[in-house]
Structure 1
Amino acid sequence: MLSSSNKKIKIITAPGFADDVINEMKSDLPSLLEYYVDETVNWEFEHETDPLTGSTENAREILEAILENAQEYDNTFLICLTDLPLFHNSNVVVAEAYEKKNIALLSLPALGSTPMIKRIRASIIQLVNEMYRGVTDEDQQKLRDKIEEAAKDGLRIVNGYILVSKKGLERFSPVRRETPQNGEENIDVRFTIPSRYLGGLRILPGMVRANRPCRMFPSFIKVMVVAFTTGTYALIFPTSWMLANEYETWRMIILSFVSIIAMITWIIVAHKLWESPRVETNNLKRMLYNITTACTLMISVTLFYLNLYLLFLIAVFLFIPIGMLESQVSSNVSYSDYFYIAWIITSFATIIGALGSALESEETILSATYGYRQKQRYEQLKRKEEEKKQQS
């Protein structure tokens, strides 16, 4: 255990999502650690980005790589944040801590999707507490007492959330705290989700959030222009008006779903986003990566579809007089029919105009997939190692 009154916390993150997340909270951590861990200590904070934490799916590899450089971090607590899912005996690993060397590893997807920032902040506090105080039940009870005391005083900094919390949704996906007794090296405590099914349901939203689907939306601007141009041309013909008048709501919903799925399929095929079997990636992780990619694209394409619908809705009100609509379709039409016309045109434009069009930034699309990010980081790591060899 460290003895100095000055302690340093060094957060090592993978490039991308984990890097952005820690930048949002780093200013709060010293004061939180002072309150929840030890108020007599002056906590200092450092942040470093290392591609290793995002290039391997093996928690042991990450910890061993950090242990090699542990002497460089004397009197420092090291916490690695990765956006990759980690597993132990097929169970989802949330975090691991090695008290003797003051090293911990935290998997962001295992924390779920929301509230991500609060959960990461609270998890870091608990991991530091594990390394600083120890891993006994008595030590952990001190942290719980501190959190309850803060809640009574009206503090909501951590909202009572710790890794083994059983409040709210945590009751449906509880985290188990384990202290390996089988002589396992370099691990003093591990947090896992004991149920594989619940672990999968919890980790998927976290992986989708790590892909940051909203950041993909600007890449759809070029496709949106093509789709809107195509749809606007079709808008002036009465055929689409008649179809909108005849189609029932269930048929419109199916058409929307088909158009969105068609576009997702096109993007996956055109940009080769589907993970094929590889030696370094087992079937479970490959399945998770592919489902995550599909869910990420579902969110992005749905945003594209909704924005396109709003554009067509404006166009319908501007270009189609109600009198012309009555003369071509029926005398019983009203302005509510405009919403159906915009709806059906959006679906047609997505299928006809968007399919086959290239997205504006292929790099943004590829970066939203786990396999590509890992490959990218692995190449960064190789370049970094080559530079070190040249310098030595």
Structure 2
Amino acid sequence: MTDLCPVGGGDAWEVTVVSEPFTTGSEDVDTAVGRLQEQARRRDWDLVVGLTELPLHDDEGRHLLVTTDPGEQTAVLSLPALGGLRMRARARRAVRSLVSGMVDANSNDERRVALPRRRGRWRLLVGMVLANRPWLLVPGLKSALVAALATGAVATINSTVWLLAGTMSWWRLVVATVASIALAVGWLVVDGELWDRPDDDSPQARERSRLYNASTVVTLVVGVLICYVALYVVNAVWALFILDPHVMGNYLQTPLGHGDLFVVAWFVASAATVGGGLGSGLESDEAIRAAAYSKREQDRRDRLAHDRKPG
């Protein structure tokens, strides 16, 4: 689409917005800049700013927020490096600053803004996780959701489950929670083939893979944790609606109250999470990747897998 907007109070600019995927290797900043410059020459643009959901890095392995080449009137901004929070407002300010800076620049030297080594890596990781939208993981895996709900519904009215839940201390319930989430995440990684492998043995390639794998694991943990909380609420409401704890207590010959309903719902949520993770095995690998990643990251991994195929 095109629009007219003033930059720095000067003349109006005609702005063209183009959305298309970067190909494999565009995490390297020189590659990304080169492809933008090629676009600018082909389309006869005076100035080009590229926004990417990929993390950018240079030859030294540093993660970059932005790189500019005033001589070629080209800049690349990594959106995950902004941190993920208030992304639109931050990106808008950054683009205006880049455009104004390149227009007013008196030097043709390339400038790069690198992220701090430790704090910047965490900010980049948060941006990548939020770009993956982990809250959409469960709705994207319909088979896993059905399996989890079915497991929870059956387990809630099972007398053996009530007896087991009544014998478990709080720390054992916590261990069951952690174990169920870990099992579900591990199964999704293995079954969906989500583990990223380095392109070569260089330290930069290994660092990139560690970053992508960390974002994958955190995305899945957040998504499964959201699923766990939702299952707990559903199971608790279901138990309160259909069960009378006093009747169940008489059947089991043990005193039960409404507080035991929430303990059972906690225990059942762990079992249902494992059931949901196993239910994801009914989904295709493409469906799992679509649920776990943003569209850009999914395209990047699909292209990378295609490039690695022999021939």
Q: TM-score, normalised by structure 2?
A: 0.85
Partner of 1:93: 64
Partner of 2:110: 188
SS, match of residue 64 in structure 1: helix
Partner of 2:278: 355
Partner of 1:111: 82
Distance 1:220 1:306, change over 3 A: farther
Instruction: State the superposition RMSD in angstroms.
Output: 2.8
Of 152, 155, 161 in structure 2, the residue corresponding to residue 234 of structure 1 is 155
Mapped pair 1:128 → 2:51: no
Partner of 2:191: 270
Partner of 1:57: 27
Identity in percent: 30
By how many angstroms is 1:269 displaced? 0.6
Deviation per residue, 1:86-106 (Å, 9 max, x gap): 123222210011112211100
| Aligned counterparts of 2:244 and 2:92: Cα–Cα separation in 1 | 56
SS, match of residue 127 in structure 1: helix
Partner of 2:218: 295
Distance 1:75 1:200, change over 3 A: closer
| Aligned counterparts of 1:344 and 1:358: Cα–Cα separation in 2 | 23
Partner of 1:374: 300
Unpaired runs of at least 5, structure 2: none
Mapped pair 1:247 → 2:168: yes
SS, match of residue 84 in structure 1: coil
SS, match of residue 71 in structure 1: helix
Q: What letter matches 1:192 in structure 2?
A: A
Of 313, 318, 330 in structure 1, the residue corresponding to residue 241 of structure 2 is 318
By how many angstroms is 1:352 displaced? 4.2
Number of residue pairs matched by the alignment? 300
| Aligned counterparts of 1:372 and 1:208: Cα–Cα separation in 2 | 13
CA contact (8 A) 2:40 2:47 kept: no
By how many angstroms is 1:115 displaced? 1.5
CA contact (8 A) 1:245 1:329 kept: no
By how many angstroms is 1:366 displaced? 1.7
By how many angstroms is 1:114 displaced? 0.5
| Aligned counterparts of 1:211 and 1:365: Cα–Cα separation in 2 | 12
Deviation per residue, 1:73-119 (Å, 9 max, x gap): 44532111111111232222100111122111001111112121111
CA contact (8 A) 2:143 2:279 kept: no
Q: What letter matches 2:50 in structure 1?
A: C
CA contact (8 A) 1:213 1:300 kept: yes
Report which stretch shifted further, 231-240 or 288-297. Answer: 231-240
Deviation per residue, 1:231-289 (Å, 9 max, x gap): 32222222222232332222212211110110000011111111123229710000001
By how many angstroms is 1:371 displaced? 6.9
Distance 1:38 1:354, change over 3 A: closer
CA contact (8 A) 2:25 2:31 kept: no
Aligned 1:164-179 pairs, distance under 5 A: none
| Aligned counterparts of 2:76 and 2:23: Cα–Cα separation in 1 | 9
Q: What letter matches 1:43 in structure 2?
A: W
CA contact (8 A) 1:51 1:380 kept: no
By how many angstroms is 1:188 displaced? 2.2
CA contact (8 A) 2:62 2:114 kept: yes
By how many angstroms is 1:345 displaced? 0.8
Structure number with the bigger relative contact order (C-alpha 8 A, sep ≥ 6) is 2
Q: What letter matches 1:45 in structure 2?
A: V
Distance 1:134 1:277, change over 3 A: closer
